[in-house]
Every structure is written in structure tokens, then in C-alpha cells.
């Protein structure tokens, strides 16, 4: 049976979008993956670009609010930033909760290439997290 996974962050624009892309990739047909924010900021163009570099297209993802998924009985809820964990609404669910505070690449400063390096660095952290998560939880 497919597992249902929700990935949460503040604005559903960078980290949760990257994680959704990788978890869909690593989970294959073993899970349905959703992402949402406690706010919606739109999908970050640099997140889309850095994922395309790794062969994963998230350009058609949407930025969704947590309340849109209130009626889904999730198996796993993963928060990818401390702010989302603190502001996450209570879910009347059996979902196992996971948390990892990834740096926010949207706050990166410097030249375009320095900012993209920070996006790549966070992307790589999230990729390894998602690979490990799928290996341990989606057998």
C-alpha cells in the first residue's frame, strides 16, 4: 500500500519543494508525496533551477497551504525547518513525525553564483536525507 507523506516548511517555496521532488524520485510507486507551508510564497525559481541541474523537474509544483491537506490521513509528516515545526498545526493523525532543520537557501546572500552554490549545498543535504528516509521507511 502506498504511504502518504507530507513535507512542511514555512513558505513551501524552497526546501519542502526540493524534498518533495527527491522523495517522489526515491519513493517511486511506494508513496504519494505532498508538500505544504504554514504560509505560501510560490515556488522559488532558484530551487527549480538547482533541481533541473540534478535532472528533477519541479517546475510544475505549486505552493500549497497546510490547510488544503487537512483531510488526508498521512503516514509521515516531515518538517524541514524549525519555524514550520513550531507553527505546525496539530494533526489528528497516526502520522509519524520527522524533523530536520535545513538551512534556508532563500536567505542566501552574495553574487548569483554564490547564492546558487548555497542552493546546491542545501539541495545535496536534502537529497541525502530523502534517499535515507525512503530506504528506511518505504520498504
Q: Any idea which residues carry the catalytic annotation?
A: 9, 81, 88
In whole angstroms, what is the distance from residue 22 CA to residue 51 CA? Answer: 9
Other C-beta atoms closer than 10 Å to the C-beta of 97 total 15
Q: How far is CA 24 from CA 12, 33, 56, 70, in A?
A: 16, 6, 10, 21
In whole angstroms, what is the distance from residue 48 CA to residue 97 CA? Answer: 26
User: Which residue in 41, 47, 32 sits closest to 63, CA to CA?
Assistant: 41
In whole angstroms, what is the distance from residue 137 CA to residue 139 CA? Answer: 6
Amino acid at each position: 500500500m502506498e504511504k502518504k507523506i507530507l513535507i512542511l516548511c514555512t513558505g513551501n517555496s524552497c526546501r519542502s519543494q526540493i524534498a518533495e521532488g527527491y522523495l517522489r524520485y526515491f519513493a517511486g510507486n511506494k508513496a504519494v508525496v505532498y508538500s505544504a507551508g504554514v504560509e505560501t510564497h510560490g515556488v522559488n525559481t532558484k530551487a527549480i533551477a538547482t533541481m533541473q541541474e540534478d535532472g528533477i523537474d519541479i517546475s510544475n509544483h505549486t505552493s500549497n497551504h497546510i490547510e488544503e491537506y487537512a483531510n488526508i490521513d498521512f503516514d509521515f509528516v516531515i518538517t524541514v525547518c524549525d519555524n514550520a515545526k513550531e507553527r505546525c498545526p496539530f494533526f489528528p493523525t497516526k502520522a509519524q513525525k520527522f524533523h530536520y532543520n535545513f538551512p534556508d537557501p532563500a536567505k542566501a546572500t552574495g553574487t548569483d553564483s554564490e547564492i546558487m552554490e548555497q542552493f546546491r549545498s542545501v539541495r545535496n543535504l536534502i537529497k541525502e536525507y530523502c534517499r535515507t528516509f525512503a530506504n528506511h521507511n518505504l520498504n
